[in-house]
Amino acid sequence: MCLSFIRKSRFFISARWYHSSAMEFSVKVAPSVVGAAENAGEIRRGNLSLTGRTGRMCRIETPGCFVHTQTGSIPHLTPDDLQYIDPAYISNPPPLNMALASLSMLAPSVEAFGKPLSTFVGYPDSFVYLGLNDPLKPPKPGSNEKSSMGLWNRAGKVKVSPEAFLDLNNKLHPDMLQIICDMDTQLVGASGQRLTKSFDSSLSWLDLFLKSRQGSPVEAVPVLATVGGGSDPWRRENFCKEVATRAVDGFVVDGFGDQWLSRWKEWESTGDLFESHKDLVSLSLRALPETKPRFLHAPLPPKAVIYLVEMGVDMFDTSYAAALADRREALIRTEDYAFDVISLGDQKYFEDLTPLSTRWACYTCKNYTKAYLHHLIHCQEINGGVLLMIHNLNEYLKFFHDLRQTIDNGSISLWKSQSSHVKVATNGNGNS
């Protein structure tokens, strides 16, 4: 285990370790700092080491993120385009987060292909974590039934029972997976009966999968349990305590319904999580063991990530970078600890011959101007999305790198000393 970051810092107060056949997680915790979120827990800084099914190793410093994909592809990019992502901020090969919802229809093809899912999608050396849903595609309410979870792909709804879930994963060959759960519970309006059903079904499916995977091809694959409980604090706390007793390797904080994802634009404009989510996330994390990694998947702007890191979340994904590229927008670092988002479709960039940012030079910033990107977008050229995704992914990954440095130095509060929420740019060139 690599603990070099710990030796350089005097701010950490205790250490935690977890080890299984395919996962090692070492984490140091530090007390919350002045100016932290009101319901912050302990700030965590660690290393996650994962062994893929072919024996390949994947090491990620935490807080960190998996690279978001859609149907196995990084949005707007080909595998060759990864050469334009700064190697200082991404593992080579990159760890990929894929969604069972979109890949379920490809399971027979992957099985017939006879090689791991990573090879099938063109990233043969990458570690593949198979989650349930795409963070940018909220699950449809009312999809789950008593004995199955409803997943949606291009062909429509797929009913996935614990047995079908095991069969899909045996065919897809992921390196790590998120276990199915009944988390279709809304923050507002979910009845006590619905929350109880979610509680009981999720635990039943979890136990059935853990038992049935013994002797199967995914027996040694790290598994993540989804923690939920809906909007009821008692059910959420007790659900987390129950899940924490199971033989799983980590946890995914969820169970907020489709509102968890559909409200992400509000987080972006306010730079904050709305209050109901803060309390429920905090409650979930306090009930989980400190030795195992905690994941949370949503398109989160930087300040929302900081709030969650202060609460004790370890792992995220890059879906926010993809969401901005989809909207033809760019994430810009305006100060050392502050960001703007600019829309390259805006007519004011028609003759703007400056780069997206002059604070540091990614491939897009070194070679192209805002005017050129504006032209590509208005002509609906595919390269517009490609160049924006290269920039946004670099910027987002660099944010995580810099965030880890401030944790090491005991200076995470600097992210709140400046206006670190995303706002409408007023200066157009990324300079402070």
Q: Is 378 inside any structural domain?
A: yes
Q: Is 122 inside any structural domain?
A: yes
Q: Is 226 inside any structural domain?
A: yes
- What pLDDT shows up at residue 186? 65
For residue 174, the one-letter residue type is P
Positive or negative, the CA dihedral 145, 139, 285, 9 is positive
Together in a domain, 340 and 294: no
Whole-number Å distance between alpha carbons of 348 and 140: 38
Cis ω on the peptide bond leading into residue 93 (within 30° of 0)? yes
Together in a domain, 246 and 113: yes
Measured in degrees and rounded to the nearest 5, phi and psi for residue 414 equal -60, -25
Into how many domains does the chain fold?
Answer: 2
Together in a domain, 259 and 407: no
Measured in degrees and rounded to the nearest 5, phi and psi for residue 130 equal -100, 100
**Is pLDDT at 272 greater than 70 in this prediction?**
no
Q: Is 427 inside any structural domain?
A: no
Positive or negative, the CA dihedral 103, 158, 166, 251 is positive
Together in a domain, 96 and 163: yes
Together in a domain, 277 and 374: no
Among 267, 291, 326, the domain-final residue is 326
For residue 425, the one-letter residue type is A
- The whole-number average pLDDT for the span 364-383 is 96
Together in a domain, 220 and 314: yes
- What pLDDT shows up at residue 235? 84
- What pLDDT shows up at residue 31? 67
Q: Is 57 inside any structural domain?
A: yes
The helix, strand and coil proportions of the chain, stated in percent and rounded to the nearest 5, come to: 35, 20, 45
Q: Is 432 inside any structural domain?
A: no
Mean pLDDT of the chain: 85
Highest mean pLDDT (candidates 130-139, 281-290, 365-374): 365-374
Least reliable range by pLDDT among 10-24, 31-45, 72-86: 31-45
Angstrom distances, CA of residue 389 to CA of 76, 126, 325:
7, 19, 5
- What pLDDT shows up at residue 7? 40
* Beta-strand pair 223-227/250-253: parallel
Angstrom distances, CA of residue 215 to CA of 111, 144, 209, 212:
18, 28, 12, 8
H or E stretch at 46 = strand 43-51
The DSSP secondary structure of 369-429, one letter per residue, reads -HHHHHHHHHTT-HHHHHHHHHHHHHHHHHHHHHHHHHHHTT-TTHHHHS--S--B-SSSS
Q: Is 347 inside any structural domain?
A: yes
Tens of pLDDT along 202-215?
899 999 999 999 99
Q: Which residues form the domain of 104?
A: 4-326
Token code pair at residue 63: 């807080």
**Is pLDDT at 1 greater than 50 in this prediction?**
no
Together in a domain, 211 and 351: no
- What pLDDT shows up at residue 265? 60
- What pLDDT shows up at residue 32? 61
Q: Which of 256, 148, 152 is nearest to 195 (CA)?
A: 256
- What pLDDT shows up at residue 117? 92
pTM above 0.85, yes or no: yes
The per-residue b/e assignment along 50-86, b for 16 or more CB within 10 angstroms, e otherwise, is bbbbeebebebebbbbbbbbbbbebbbbeeebbebbb
Q: What is the CATH number of the domain that holds 168?
A: 3.20.20.105
Least reliable range by pLDDT among 63-67, 84-88, 136-140, 406-410: 136-140
Q: Which of 142, 131, 98 is nearest to 117 (CA)?
A: 98
Measured in whole angstroms, the distance separating CA 266 from the mean position of its chain's CA atoms is 18
Token match 């002509």: residue? 379
**Is pLDDT at 431 greater than 60 in this prediction?**
no
**Is pLDDT at 132 greater than 90 in this prediction?**
yes
For residues 146 and 36, the model is more confident at 146
Token code pair at residue 332: 């810009």
Together in a domain, 312 and 382: no
Together in a domain, 238 and 366: no
**Is pLDDT at 227 greater than 80 in this prediction?**
yes
Among 311, 326, 341, the domain-final residue is 326
Segments in 66-145 forming alpha helices (H): 100-103, 107-113, 117-120
Together in a domain, 65 and 201: yes
Q: Which of 146, 104, 149, 133 is nearest to 260 (CA)?
A: 133
Segments in 153-191 forming alpha helices (H): 162-172
Together in a domain, 288 and 353: no
Among 308, 326, 344, the domain-final residue is 326
Tens of pLDDT along 332-371?
999 888 899 999 999 999 999 999 998 888 999 999 999 9
Q: Is 431 inside any structural domain?
A: no
Together in a domain, 387 and 322: no
Q: Going along 292-344, which residue ranges are E strands?
A: 294-295, 315-317, 329-335, 338-343
